[in-house]
C-alpha cells in the first residue's frame, strides 16, 4: 500500500462483469454497465490493489465520514461464495472473525460489512506505507539480520495472537507485510485466505489448497494447513529478505534441502541461522510448533555470550525507529544501620516488603518510599519476631499476608490487615529462600539442603524435600504455578512439580554453586552462580545451559519482569545489569556502592527495586519518554 500521489483519481465499478470499470472520480453510476459506483452509497473504490481466487481488493474512500477516510475494501468472489452452502452465514462468520482479529494493533481493523445486491464486501482500515515486497523491488539488498530480526520480533506475537484465536493466516509473504511510518510496527494484512479452526480435529482433514507458491508449507500444499504452516511461511519470508531471491531459487530439489546461506547479502549470526532453519524445516515434527517457541529461542540465542562478550550490536534489531527505553533512578532510601537481605513486591505493586539484617520485616510505599510498618525484631526468647537476621520474604497471591524467614530458623506469617503474626512449623535451620505459588503453596529453602512445601495454612505440617546436598540458595515458581525451581550450593538446579512436590528433573550441568534463580514466562529458567555466570536452561536442552552474562564477581540476585521483556542481574561488586529481552540487544548498567542483595520488579514491569549491602533501597523506573 504505497503512496497515492502518483495515481490519478478515478472511480472503479465493482461489477465483475463490467467491460470498462474506470469512471470519473465523482461519477454516480458506471458509464459502461449502469451499476451504482459507490458501495453501500458511501464507499468509492479508487484503485485495484490486488485480486485472486477469493475476490478483489480495492483502495477506497469512505465518503460517509467527515472528512472522507481512506479504507480498503475486499470484495468477495461471487463465483466462490454462491457455490458454497450457507454462504451468507459463512460470510458473516468471517466478518465476525476479522472484527476480533482487527482489535490487534498490527492487524487492519474491520470498519464495516456490506452484504447487498452489489455483493459482499469487507471494509478494513487503510495502512499507509509500502509492503516489504515493494521495498525489496526498490532495493534488492535491503534485507539483513537487523530487518529479519525486526520482522520476527514484531510479527511472531501477531501470529501467536491469531493462532490463539484459532485462525491460520495461510498466506504470509513479503507482499502481505506492510511497513508503516516509524515508530509504528509492521502490520500483517490480507486475511482472505485465513482459515478458522473450530475443532482441533479439523487440522487432520484435507481442505482447499491455498497459499502462495514457494511460501506455503508442504502440509499446506496438500490441503492440511496447521498453525506451524504459518511459521514455515514466515521463515521463508525471512530467507527471501536475507537473500533477495524468491524461495523457488533457494530450495535444492536434488538435495531436498534449503540452500540459502551462500546467497545472503550480509553475514548472518549462527543463532539466527539455527532459528530460521528450524522454522523452514519441511518435516512438521522438527519444526517449531508455536510462535512463542520461536520467540523464546530467538530471544535467548541472541543473548549468547561468545568469547566472553555478547555478539556485535550490528546484528541488533531496530525498534521501528522509536527510541530505546532507558532506566533512571526515581528515588533511594537510606537504611539506618541495617541491610535489606530479602525483597518482595506486593501483587498490586503499591508496596514492597523487606527482610532485614536487624531482624525486622518492613513494609514500604512504592510511590514515595515511606515506611508503612515495621515488624520488629523479637525482644526476648518468647516474643514474636526474628531473633537474628531475616533473609527472605514473600507476599501471598492476595497480597494480604507476607511470610518471612531468617537465620533463627523461624518462619513467620504476618497479617497485613491487623499486623498480627504467627510462627509456622518448620524443623530446619537457617531459612535461606522463600517462594509462594499463585495457589499459596509455600516453599521454604533451608541451610541444610531441605525444602519444606505445603499449603500456607495454620498448623499444617509441610512436606520435606531432601534431594539437595547443601544449602538451598534460591527458589522460584513458574508463571503458571505448576513448577518450583530450586538452586543450591551443591551446584544443582532441581525442578519440582507443584503442588505435589515430586522431583521431575535435576540439572547437574552447572559448574559453580547456584546463587539465584528466576523463571521466564516462556518457560526458560535463568540461573546465576558463584562464578558470575548468568545461564539459561530449557526443557529441550537441560544439560546445556546457554551463558548470556558474565560478571567479574558472583551473581547475587536475579529478577525477570512479569512482561518477560527485562532481565535484571545483581552482582557482588554492586553492578545492576538490565538486559532488554525484546531483541533490541540493549544492556543498561546501574550501580550500588556494595553488593546487591535482592531484586524485584513491580507487576507493570516499569519499576525494578534493588537492595544492597550499602544499606540502601533503590527504585529504578523506565523513562516514560523512551517507552
Active-site positions read 171
User: Would you call 612 helix, strand, or coil by DSSP?
Assistant: strand
Distance of alpha carbon 364 from alpha carbon 373, whole angstroms: 7
Residue 603: Cβ-neighbour burial (10 angstroms; 0-12, 13-18, 19+): middle
* DSSP collapsed to 3 states, 442-470: EEEEECCCCEEEEECCCCCCCEEECCCCC
278: nearest Cα among 266, 262, 289: 289
CB atoms within 10 A of CB 204: 9
Q: Are 122 and 113 in contact (CB under 8 A)?
A: yes
Alpha helices in 244-310 (DSSP H): 270-279, 291-301
Cα–Cα distance for residue pair 95/113, rounded to 1 Å = 7
Cβ pair 81, 87 in contact under 8 A: yes
Burial 582-597 (b: 16+ CB within 10 A, else e): bbbbbebebbbeebbb
Q: Report d(CA 202, CA 196) in Å as an integer.
A: 9
Residue 189 burial (CB < 10 Å; 0-12/13-18/19+)?
buried
Amino acid at each position: 500500500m504505497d503512496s497515492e500521489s502518483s495515481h490519478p483519481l478515478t472511480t472503479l465499478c465493482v461489477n465483475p462483469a463490467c467491460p470498462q470499470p474506470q469512471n470519473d472520480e465523482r461519477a454516480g453510476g458506471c458509464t459502461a454497465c449502469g451499476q451504482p459506483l459507490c458501495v453501500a452509497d458511501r464507499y468509492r473504490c479508487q484503485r485495484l490493489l490486488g485480486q485472486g481466487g477469493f475476490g478483489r481488493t480495492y483502495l477506497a474512500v469512505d465518503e460517509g465520514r467527515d472528512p472522507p477516510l481512506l479504507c480498503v475494501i475486499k470484495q468477495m468472489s461471487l463465483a466462490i461464495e454462491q457455490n458454497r452452502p450457507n454462504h451468507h452465514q459463512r460470510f458473516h462468520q468471517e466478518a465476525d472473525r476479522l472484527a476480533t482479529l482487527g482489535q490487534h494493533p498490527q492487524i487492519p481493523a474491520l470498519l464495516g460489512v456490506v452484504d447487498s445486491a452489489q455483493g459482499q464486501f469487507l471494509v478494513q482500515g487503510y495502512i499507509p506505507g509500502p509492503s516489504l515486497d515493494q521495498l525489496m523491488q526498490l532495493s534488492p539488498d535491503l534485507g539483513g539480520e537487523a530487518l529479519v530480526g525486526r520482522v520476527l520480533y514484531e510479527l511472531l506475537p501477531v501470529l501467536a495472537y491469531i493462532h490463539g484465536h484459532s485462525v491460520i493466516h495461510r498466506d504470509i509473504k513479503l507482499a502481505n507485510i506492510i511497513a508503516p511510518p516509524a515508530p509504528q510496527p509492521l502490520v500483517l494484512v490480507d486475511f482472505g485466505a485465513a482459515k478458522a479452526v473450530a475443532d482441533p480435529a479439523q487440522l487432520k482433514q484435507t481442505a482447499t489448497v491455498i497459499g502462495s507458491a514457494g511460501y506455503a508449507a508442504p502440509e499446506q500444499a496438500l490441503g492440511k494447513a496447521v498453525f506451524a504452516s504459518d511459521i514455515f511461511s514466515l521463515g521463508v519470508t525471512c530467507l527471501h529478505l536475507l537473500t533477495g531471491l524468491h524461495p523457488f531459487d533457494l530450495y535444492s530439489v536434488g538435495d531436498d534441502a534449503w540452500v540459502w546461506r551462500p546467497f545472503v547479502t550480509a553475514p548472518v549470526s549462527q543463532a539466527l541461522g539455527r532459528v530460521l532453519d528450524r522454522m523452514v524445516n519441511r518435516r512438521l515434527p522438527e519444526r517449531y510448533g508455536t510462535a512463542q517457541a520461536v520467540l523464546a529461542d530467538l530471544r535467548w540465542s541472541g543473548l549468547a555470550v561468545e568469547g566472553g562478550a555478547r555478539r556485535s550490536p550490528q546484528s541488533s534489531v531496530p525498534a521501528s525507529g522509536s527510541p530505546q527505553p532507558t532506566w533512571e533512578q526515581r528515588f533511594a532510601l537510606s537504611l539506618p544501620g541495617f541491610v535489606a537481605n530479602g525483597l518482595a513486591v506486593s501483587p498490586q505493586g503499591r508496596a514492597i516488603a523487606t527482610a532485614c539484617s536487624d531482624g525486622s520485616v518492613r513494609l514500604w510505599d512504592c510511590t514515595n518510599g515511606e515506611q508503612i510498618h515495621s515488624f520488629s525484631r523479637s525482644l526476648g526468647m518468647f516474643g514474636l519476631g526474628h531473633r537474628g537476621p531475616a533473609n527472605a520474604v514473600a507476599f501471598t497471591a492476595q497480597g494480604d499476608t507476607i511470610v518471612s524467614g531468617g537465620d533463627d530458623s523461624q518462619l513467620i506469617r504476618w497479617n497485613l490487615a491487623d499486623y498480627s503474626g504467627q510462627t509456622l512449623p518448620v524443623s530446619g535451620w537457617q531459612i535461606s529462600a522463600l517462594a509462594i505459588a499463585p495457589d499459596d503453596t509455600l516453599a521454604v529453602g533451608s541451610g541444610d539442603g531441605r525444602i519444606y512445601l505445603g499449603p500456607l495454612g495454620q498448623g499444617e505440617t509441610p512436606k520435606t524435600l531432601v534431594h539437595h546436598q547443601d544449602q538451598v540458595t534460591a527458589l522460584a515458581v513458574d508463571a503458571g504455578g505448576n513448577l518450583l525451581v530450586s538452586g543450591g550450593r551443591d551446584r544443582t538446579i532441581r525442578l519440582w512439580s507443584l503442588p505435589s512436590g515430586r522431583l521431575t528433573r535435576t540439572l547437574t550441568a552447572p559448574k559453580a554453586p547456584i546463587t539465584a534463580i528466576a523463571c521466564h514466562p516462556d518457560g526458560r529458567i535463568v540461573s546465576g552462580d558463584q562464578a558470575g555466570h548468568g545461564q539459561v536452561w530449557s526443557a529441550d536442552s537441560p544439560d546445556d545451559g546457554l551463558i548470556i552474562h558474565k560478571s567479574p564477581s558472583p551473581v547475587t540476585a536475579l529478577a525477570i519482569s512479569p512482561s518477560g521483556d527485562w532481565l535484571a542481574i545483581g552482582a557482588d561488586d554492586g553492578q545492576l545489569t538490565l538486559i532488554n529481552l525484546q531483541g533490541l540487544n540493549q544492556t543498561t548498567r546501574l550501580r550500588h556502592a556494595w553488593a546487591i542483595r535482592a531484586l524485584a520488579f513491580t507487576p507493570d514491569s516499569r519499576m525494578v527495586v534493588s537492595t544492597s549491602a550499602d544499606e540502601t533501597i533503590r527504585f529504578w523506573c523506565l523513562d516514560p519518554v523512551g517507552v
